[in-house]
């Protein structure tokens, strides 16, 4: 949530439902109006406007019809070109499940490795923070967590890992270690 930090004797009220995403990457003052600030981050683009007469601040998401994310990895459905899943930095596991204009999230946190079984595409995998692995066998109508107990193999996984599905063996490989 965005908050104003101001000097002594200054107060500001805020309205709007827009919250910025963490990890701000660019902040610039609008060259046509110094009371407007554009903020670019992992979640897209936001416009903040300050109204001096009443110290009023308003935030607006500027992502209308724009999709913003940074993918670490994507997996494509073998027969449906409008079905793909991804692991996204700070934006979980975005998935276009047949409709490219509507995306859902199939995991949480920082997304990482993803995989789709090419022989049985309803079986899919999505990993997130510290290699927590989600699996579905029904195209994400339901899912279960299948994360291994990393401590049992004396590993402390990194934040972001990779998944590889081997269709010839039916094995899922999670590549991630602290080394």
How far apart are alpha carbons 160 and 23 in whole angstroms? Answer: 17
- The mean per-residue pLDDT over the stretch 36-47 comes to 82
pLDDT over 70 (residue 116): yes
How far apart are alpha carbons 124 and 138 in whole angstroms? Answer: 8
pLDDT over 70 (residue 80): yes
- Predicted TM-score (pTM) of the model is 0.67
Q: How do residues 137-175 score in pLDDT, each as one tens digit?
A: 999 999 999 887 665 556 566 667 778 888 788 888 877
Number of H helices, E strands in the chain: 0, 15
pLDDT confidence of residue 179? 46
Higher pLDDT, 22 or 69: 69
Report the share of the chain in percent with pLDDT over 70.
Answer: 77
The burial of 105, by beta-carbon neighbours within 10 Å (0-12 exposed, 13-18 middle, 19 or more buried), is given as: middle
Residue 4 pLDDT grade (very low, low, confident, very high; cuts 50, 70, 90): very low
Residue 135 pLDDT grade (very low, low, confident, very high; cuts 50, 70, 90): very high
């Amino acid at each position: 949530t965005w908050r104003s930090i101001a000097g002594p004797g200054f107060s500001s009220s805020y309205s709007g439902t827009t919250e910025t995403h963490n990890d701000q990457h660019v902040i610039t003052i609008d060259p046509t109006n110094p009371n407007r600030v554009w903020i670019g981050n992992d979640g897209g683009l936001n416009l903040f406007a300050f109204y001096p007469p009443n110290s009023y601040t308003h935030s607006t998401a500027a992502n209308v019809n724009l999709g913003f994310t940074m993918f670490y990895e994507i997996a494509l459905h073998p027969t449906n070109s409008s079905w793909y899943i991804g692991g996204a930095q700070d934006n979980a596991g975005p998935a276009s499940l047949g409709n490219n204009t509507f995306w859902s999230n199939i995991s949480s946190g920082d997304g990482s490795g993803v995989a789709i079984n090419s022989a049985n595409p309803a079986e899919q995998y999505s990993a997130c923070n510290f290699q927590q692995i989600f699996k579905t066998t029904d195209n994400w109508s339901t899912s279960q967590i299948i994360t291994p107990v990393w401590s049992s193999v004396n590993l402390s996984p990194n934040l972001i890992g990779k998944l590889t599905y081997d269709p010839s063996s039916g094995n899922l490989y999670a590549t991630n270690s602290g080394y």
